[in-house]
Homo-oligomer: A and B are copies of this chain.
Amino acid sequence: MIRLYDYLESGNGYKVRLLLHQLEIPFERVELDITRGATRTPEFLAMNPNGRIPLLELEDGSRLAESNAIQFYLAEGTPLLPGDRLERSRVLQWMFFEQYSHEPYIAVLRFWVHTGAAEGMDEAVLQEKREKGHAALAVMESHLAERDFFVADAYSVADISLYAYTHVADQGGFDLAPYPALRAWIERVRAQPRHISITHPC
């Protein structure tokens, strides 16, 4: 059986969990508490030298890291990844946007609030995270103003990738009120068959 090294609060882990559930692929979940260094042990670093979850382990023992690469692998040949060459690359475009322009602000601020780290922090550092996070949300809002989903007008792993931290952005202090198209898209993602919540262990 496929094994997923995971952390239930992680949006990056949730991307893979949600996708596996929607694709009806059975898997075993191994919970690792990243707030207690569980991904920095010698045993885990031997499996993923970058020391991060999610990490997927296939039945033959081969492993794949990085939430969006894992999603691309799992969604291949399913309706959640377009077959067209340009559309597949657009899915990747939004996934790279997510990891570079969205996650480092929206997910990190949520993590800092969650762990209490935000409390002692320099206000200028928090403010920069907020501004760049809102810039990412504004890019999403303008794209969704004319579309139901991110790529090819169909629900895909690009939507899962961006949904993972956007729908809990409020937990990092982001108010989504100024983004009506984005809020409507969140509801559309939530309405997909076999949707699960972020802390659903499957």
Residues of A within 8 A of B (CB): 49-50, 58, 62, 64-70, 72-73, 76, 85-86, 88-90, 92-93, 95-97, 99-101, 103-104, 139, 142-143
Contact = CB atoms under 8 A, between A and B. Distances in A.
Contacts of A86: 58, 62, 64, 73
A96 B69 contact: yes
A92 B142 CA distance: 27
Given A49-B139, A139-B50, A143-B49, A70 B99 contact: no
A76 B89 CA distance: 10
A90 B76 contact: no
Nearest to A50: B139
B93 A66 contact: yes
A81 to B, nearest CB: 11
A49 B145 CA distance: 13
A89 B73 contact: yes
A101 B139 CA distance: 23
B93 A64 contact: yes
Nearest to A77: B85
A70 B50 contact: no
A104 B92 CA distance: 19
A66 B50 contact: no
Nearest to A68: B96
Contacts of A139: 49-50
A96 B93 contact: no
24 contacts: A50-B139, A58-B86, A64-B90, A64-B93, A65-B93, A65-B97, A66-B92, A66-B93, A68-B92, A69-B89, A69-B93, A69-B96, A72-B88, A72-B89, A73-B85, A73-B86, A73-B92, A76-B85, A92-B92, A96-B99, A99-B99, A99-B100, A100-B100, A100-B104
